[in-house]
Structure 1
């Protein structure tokens, strides 16, 4: 552990006793303390988004196409722009693709109005279609707005070519 070496000198000077300390047990103690604090501390938990996934016993009808009146489509574009429509492939025009902002009240109001006009409210679906130029923050904001509107049926899809054509004509 600690060792004291005494050197005797003859003369009138005071004897100095050099001390040598063995640090090996201190290293072991530091290692044990480090391991203790690493195992007992809590690390930052990752931020995750809760997606409402369907239950295990949900029956799907994949061949049935949802009528455009029972759905609303949001297209997330570039520069923090978001567009929405409730049109079929044949009916979608630049006038039918409307723009809004990410304010939760506006999006919730748009979803509520579309829901009220839906002939079959039990299958009302919100479809989110991010473009290649959309950023992740806008997508998360849109998912938050859907959560605020308390609608449980939603889907995420790629933008269709006919929608992309109308969208690109509108942003030019």
Structure 2
């Protein structure tokens, strides 16, 4: 603990009594480690937000061709805009490419209606194509919509030249 020494005489001369205090810091180190351990165990660390992404296996299923009636394509554009179409790329024009919103009456309803009208509901696929102008938050919102609508089959692809041309005409 603490120890005090008081020299009274030195070389035969009497000096004023000075008290020298020496504090033993060993118990303080132990206390410090106990406090660190307590706070590490008592603190709840923030858990990272993780989204489960169902990625395809290494090999593709052979012989599975998805009919255009079993799929819907969403194009994520700039300024929080999202467009969709259901059909062949060769038939795509500004009248076929329709705009929707991220609201509950937007993408969710469109996916549910398309899934209900699909001939093979177990093969229904949503294709997501973000443009270069799209924001990351809109892409995450689209993945959230896949979770909300319980769409297990979805793909992320690059936008083709035909789609890009029609998209550019649509946003003008």
TM-score band by shorter chain is 0.7 to 0.9
Gaps (5+ residues) in structure 2? none
TM-superposed CA distance for 1:123, in Å, is 0.8
1:167 matched residue in structure 2: 167
SS of residue matched to 2:105: helix
SS of residue matched to 2:83: strand
- CA distance in 1: counterparts of 2:122 and 2:48, whole angstroms: 34
Q: What is the TM-score when the length of structure 2 is the normalising length?
A: 0.82
TM-superposed CA distance for 1:148, in Å, is 1.4
- CA distance in 2: counterparts of 1:85 and 1:113, whole angstroms: 13
Q: What is the TM-score when the length of structure 1 is the normalising length?
A: 0.82
Deviating runs (4+, > 3 A) in structure 1?
Answer: 7-11, 15-18, 35-42, 62-65
- CA distance in 1: counterparts of 2:62 and 2:84, whole angstroms: 24
SS of residue matched to 1:89: coil
Between Structure 1 and Structure 2, how many residues are aligned?
167
1:115 matched residue in structure 2: 115
Gaps (5+ residues) in structure 1? none
Q: CA RMSD in A?
A: 2.7
- CA distance in 1: counterparts of 2:53 and 2:112, whole angstroms: 20
TM-superposed CA distance for 1:31, in Å, is 3.6
> Mean Cα displacement is larger for which, 38-47 or 69-78?
38-47
TM-superposed CA distance for 1:149, in Å, is 1.4
- CA distance in 1: counterparts of 2:7 and 2:144, whole angstroms: 78
- CA distance in 1: counterparts of 2:166 and 2:133, whole angstroms: 15
